[in-house]
Structure 1
Amino acid sequence: MEIERNFITPEQPPEVSQLKIVVVGEKGCGKTTICKQLCEEGKFDVEPTVGSDFYTTQMTSKKKLVQVNLWDLSGDKSYLDVRNEFYRDSDILLAVYDITNKRSFDSLDMWLREVSKFGGESLPVYLCGTKAEQESRRKVDTDEAKEWSNSRSFQGFCEIKPTVEGDSSVQALFERIVMRHM
């Protein structure tokens, strides 16, 4: 089944479904790059997220138009009061860590507790390791991350190479999510 991005048929306005995805993880782990790569064309600048940032794009799945709304939440601990408002009405949680930073992986349990505490305990979760192009600097073993993900019954696991130049694995990740949940 193929998903096409930004595809709208002019003859019949399609019904638009909404999919709210909250993206969490330690600061600097690649959340913003993932969001911008999916939703923005060409090269882009990445600045640290202050509180939260919102990104949107449209995809089609099963001949249905889906508006994918990404909430990129700051990894800075000082923004807890801002973050806790986003979990309750979300459809998907994307938990992100940097494969070159063990602390970013170890903090994921804290993120899951936070999400659960503020109303997101039943969210489907996808685990995503970033910076996979930096294999020589790897601090988080792929098998360890897969096992951790499987032990928590997450919906999916991947490692990607998001960069300002682009990476098709980011698109593929969101295509899988949209196909599975719409």
Structure 2
Amino acid sequence: MDDTYDEDCDYLFKVVLIGDSGVGKSNLLSRFAKDEFRLDSKPTIGVEFAYRNIKVRDKLIKAQIWDTAGQERFRAITSSYYRGAMGALLVYDITRKSSYENVSKWLLELREFGGQDMVVILVGNKSDLVQTREVEKEEGKGYAETEGLCFMETSALKNLNVEEVFLQMITKIYDITRQRSLEGKMDEKQINVLSGNEIHICDDEVTTTKQANCC
């Protein structure tokens, strides 16, 4: 866990990991949160979560990352955990075609229970297992583009793109949150002008930033 865990954070973002059981969601979480990987990782029962504090721009963000069980019998339980989530990693195993084929089912559930502006990244995990690959990278990338998702392949075992995929998601959430805040201030300013109230402009500079490009 980060040394900055107890520091006051500027934002708290809830994000979720979803996908079939055995695709490596728990190891992606443990690699990102604690830089650990377990070969004997057991299926998640219900829901587990971890925290990690991240610096984005000049702000300290506490990411609350939920690892949802992929087994069918837990899906009715975990669906409620999508509420309030601002981002999601939709994970499949590149060596298991069935886990990729089920992505559309998970995405449907995510869109049913998640927020409209949720940042979703499609993740092809276990990219180190090249010899047993069943899902080509271009196939996953093409599906992501069709559905308006970001895409990245990762390996929790080799620690490839794990940091990058989480940071991309959290940065995009931050940019959207800041943009919303800016728009809210502009709307408030217009209301004040219409009502004839005096407007006091704060000294802190508000800048908009481009959202991180999808890989």
**TM bucket, shorter chain:** 0.7 to 0.9
Per the alignment, residue 208 of structure 2 pairs with none
Per the alignment, residue 169 of structure 2 pairs with 177
Count of matched residue positions in the alignment of Structure 1 and Structure 2:
172
Runs (4+) of structure 1 exceeding 6 A deviation are none
- Helix, strand or coil for the counterpart of 1:162? coil
Q: After TM superposition, list the pairs within 5 Å mapping 1:83-94 onto structure 2.
A: 83-94=78-89
Per the alignment, residue 192 of structure 2 pairs with none
Larger relative contact order (CA 8 Å, sep ≥ 6): 1
C-alpha separation in 2, matches of 1:96 and 1:176: 15
C-alpha separation in 2, matches of 1:124 and 1:180: 7
AA in 1 matched with 2:94: I
Q: After TM superposition, list the pairs within 5 Å mapping 1:1-182 onto structure 2.
A: 6=2, 8=4, 14-44=8-38, 46-154=41-149, 156-163=150-157, 167-182=159-174
The structure having more radius of gyration, on CA atoms, is 2
Q: Quote the sequence identity (%).
A: 26
AA in 2 matched with 1:33: N
Q: Name stretches of at least 5 consecutive residues in structure 1 with no aligned partner.
A: none
Do the aligned partners of 2:30 and 2:37 also contact (CA within 8 Å) in 1?
no
- Helix, strand or coil for the counterpart of 1:161? coil
C-alpha separation in 2, matches of 1:133 and 1:167: 10
Do the aligned partners of 2:54 and 2:62 also contact (CA within 8 Å) in 1?
yes
Report deviation, 1:81: 2.0
C-alpha separation in 1, matches of 2:114 and 2:61: 24
Q: Name stretches of at least 5 consecutive residues in structure 2 with no aligned partner.
A: 175-215
- Helix, strand or coil for the counterpart of 2:85? coil
The 3 A distance-change label for structure 1 pair 28 and 57 is same
TM-score (norm 2): 0.74
Do the aligned partners of 1:99 and 1:130 also contact (CA within 8 Å) in 2?
yes
The 3 A distance-change label for structure 1 pair 74 and 43 is closer
AA in 2 matched with 1:177: M
Name the Cα RMSD after superposition: 2.0
AA in 1 matched with 2:89: L
C-alpha separation in 2, matches of 1:21 and 1:42: 19
